[in-house]
Amino acid sequence: MRRSGRLPRPMVRCSGHHRNNLCRLGCDAVSLQIAKLILYSRRGEVREVAFRLGGLNILTGASKTGKSAIIDIIDYCTGRSECNVADGVIRKYVGWYALLFQIGGGQIFIARRNPDVGDRTNGDIYMARGSNIETPVESALFKNTTVGAVEKFLGAAIGISENEHRPPTPTRDPLEANFRHALLLSFQDQNDIDSKQRLFHRQGDDFVSQAIKDTLPYFLGAVDEDRLFKQSQLDQAKRELRQLERQLRDADALDSSTFPRARALLDEAKQVGLIDERTVALTYEAVLAVLQRVVRETGVRDNLMVGDGEDVLAGLRSERQGLRTELERINAEIRSTRTFTSETSGYEREAKEQRARLSAVGLIKHGDHDPAHCPLCESKLLVPAPTVVQMQRSLQELSNQLEAVEAENPRLQLRLASLNREETDIEERLRDNQQQIAARMRENEILRVQQDSFILQARTTGKITQYVETASTADASSGLKSAIAASRIRVAALERELDAEAVKEKLDTFLNIIGRYMTQYSDDLELEHRGSQLRLDIRALTVVADTLDGPVPLFRMGSGENWVGYHVLAHLALHKWFRQKKRPVPGFIIFDQPSQAHYPPDRDAEGSIDALSDEDQTAVLQLFKLAADAAAELAPDLQIIIMDHADLKPDWFAAAVIQRWRKGEKLIPTSWLQ
Q: What is the pLDDT of residues 144-202, one digit of tens each?
A: 999 999 999 999 999 988 777 666 666 667 778 899 999 999 999 999 999 999 999 99
Does residue 405 carry a pLDDT above 70? no
Dihedral angle, C-alpha 652, 653, 656, 658, nearest 10 °: -150
Query: Are 342 and 416 contacting, i.e. CB atoms less than 8 angstroms apart?
Result: no
Query: Are 126 and 143 contacting, i.e. CB atoms less than 8 angstroms apart?
Result: yes
Query: Does residue 101 come out as left (phi exceeding 0), alpha (psi in the -120 to 50 range) or beta?
Result: beta
Same-domain pairing of 463 and 531: no
The pLDDT score that the predictor gives to residue 373 is 64
Closest-CA residue to 539 (of 507, 583, 561, 495): 507
- Residue 331: band (very low, low, confident or very high) from pLDDT cuts 50, 70, 90: confident
- pLDDT tens-digit map of 351-390: 556 656 556 555 444 445 566 666 666 677 676 556 555 6
Asked if residue 386 is part of any domain, the answer here is yes
- Residue 481: band (very low, low, confident or very high) from pLDDT cuts 50, 70, 90: confident
The pLDDT score that the predictor gives to residue 171 is 61
The pLDDT score that the predictor gives to residue 390 is 60
User: Hey, is 664 helix, strand or coil?
Assistant: coil
The pLDDT score that the predictor gives to residue 106 is 95
Q: What is the mean pLDDT of residues 468-485?
A: 71
Burial class, 578, CB count within 10 angstroms (exposed 0-12 / middle 13-18 / buried 19+): buried
Asked if residue 327 is part of any domain, the answer here is yes
Question: Looking at 191-200, 466-475, 481-490, 635-644, which range is the least confident one?
Answer: 466-475
Q: What is the mean pLDDT of residues 483-487?
A: 87
Asked if residue 255 is part of any domain, the answer here is no
- Residue 113: band (very low, low, confident or very high) from pLDDT cuts 50, 70, 90: very high
The pLDDT score that the predictor gives to residue 616 is 78
Does residue 669 carry a pLDDT above 80? yes
Q: Could you tell me which residues come within 8 angstroms of residue 561 by beta carbon, excluding any fewer than 6 positions away?
A: 526, 527, 597, 598, 619
Does residue 458 carry a pLDDT above 90? no
The pLDDT score that the predictor gives to residue 223 is 84
Does residue 602 carry a pLDDT above 60? no
The pLDDT score that the predictor gives to residue 580 is 96
Does residue 307 carry a pLDDT above 60? no
Asked if residue 298 is part of any domain, the answer here is no
- Residue 258: band (very low, low, confident or very high) from pLDDT cuts 50, 70, 90: very low
Q: What is the mean pLDDT of residues 85-107?
A: 95
Q: Report how far residue 39's alpha carbon sits from residue 17's, in angstroms, rounded to the nearest whole number.
A: 30
Q: What are phi and psi of 170, to 5 degrees?
A: -80, 15
Same-domain pairing of 471 and 520: no
Q: What is the mean pLDDT of residues 435-444?
A: 77
Does residue 306 carry a pLDDT above 50? no
Same-domain pairing of 461 and 596: no
Same-domain pairing of 350 and 416: yes
DSSP state string for 519-574: HHHHTTS--TTTTSEEEEETTTTEEEEEETTEEEEGGGS-SHHHHHHHHHHHHHHH
Across the beta sheet with 542-547, the strand order is 533-537, 542-547, 550-553
Same-domain pairing of 105 and 214: yes
Closest-CA residue to 119 (of 73, 75, 83): 83
Asked if residue 672 is part of any domain, the answer here is no
Same-domain pairing of 432 and 535: no
Query: Are 653 and 58 contacting, i.e. CB atoms less than 8 angstroms apart?
Result: yes
Domain extent for 383: 310-475
Q: Report how far residue 82's alpha carbon sits from residue 660's, in angstroms, rounded to the nearest whole number.
A: 29
Query: Are 138 and 39 contacting, i.e. CB atoms less than 8 angstroms apart?
Result: no
Percent of the chain with pLDDT over 90: 42
Question: Looking at 498-507, 510-519, 562-571, which range is the least confident one?
Answer: 498-507
Q: Could you tell me which residues come within 8 angstroms of residue 42 by beta carbon, excluding any fewer than 6 positions away?
A: 93, 94, 95
Across the beta sheet with 588-592, the strand order is 187-188, 588-592, 639-644, 56-61, 657-661
Q: How many CB atoms are located within 10 Å of the residue 555 CB? A: 14
CA dist 530 to 25, 193, 443, 502, 626, Å?
41, 19, 98, 32, 15
Asked if residue 238 is part of any domain, the answer here is no
Does residue 332 carry a pLDDT above 70? yes
The pLDDT score that the predictor gives to residue 345 is 60
Dihedral sign, CA of 355, 360, 365, 367? negative
- pLDDT tens-digit map of 21-80: 443 343 455 799 999 999 999 999 999 999 999 999 999 998 899 999 999 999 999 999
Closest-CA residue to 106 (of 47, 193, 32, 173): 32
- pLDDT tens-digit map of 543-585: 999 999 999 999 999 888 899 999 999 999 999 999 999 999 9
Q: Quick one: which H or E segment has residue 47?
A: strand 46-50
Q: What are phi and psi of 240, to 5 degrees?
A: -65, -40
Query: Does residue 141 come out as left (phi exceeding 0), alpha (psi in the -120 to 50 range) or beta?
Result: beta
Asked if residue 28 is part of any domain, the answer here is yes
Same-domain pairing of 471 and 530: no
Same-domain pairing of 212 and 334: no
Q: Report how far residue 536's alpha carbon sits from residue 558's, in angstroms, rounded to the nearest whole number.
A: 18
The pLDDT score that the predictor gives to residue 18 is 38
Same-domain pairing of 418 and 532: no
Q: What is the mean pLDDT of residues 648-659?
A: 94
The pLDDT score that the predictor gives to residue 271 is 81
Same-domain pairing of 82 and 143: yes
Same-domain pairing of 319 and 364: yes
The pLDDT score that the predictor gives to residue 392 is 58
Same-domain pairing of 537 and 469: no
Provide the number of structural domains found in the chain. Answer: 2
Domain stop point among 458, 475, 492: 475
Asked if residue 674 is part of any domain, the answer here is no
Query: Are 132 and 112 contacting, i.e. CB atoms less than 8 angstroms apart?
Result: no
Query: Does residue 259 come out as left (phi exceeding 0), alpha (psi in the -120 to 50 range) or beta?
Result: left
Dihedral sign, CA of 26, 32, 38, 42? positive
Does residue 454 carry a pLDDT above 60? yes
- Residue 464: band (very low, low, confident or very high) from pLDDT cuts 50, 70, 90: confident
Q: Helix %, strand %, coil % for the chain, to 5? A: 55, 15, 35
CATH number for the domain that contains residue 119: 3.40.50.300
Domain stop point among 453, 475, 497: 475
Q: What is the mean pLDDT of the chain?
A: 81
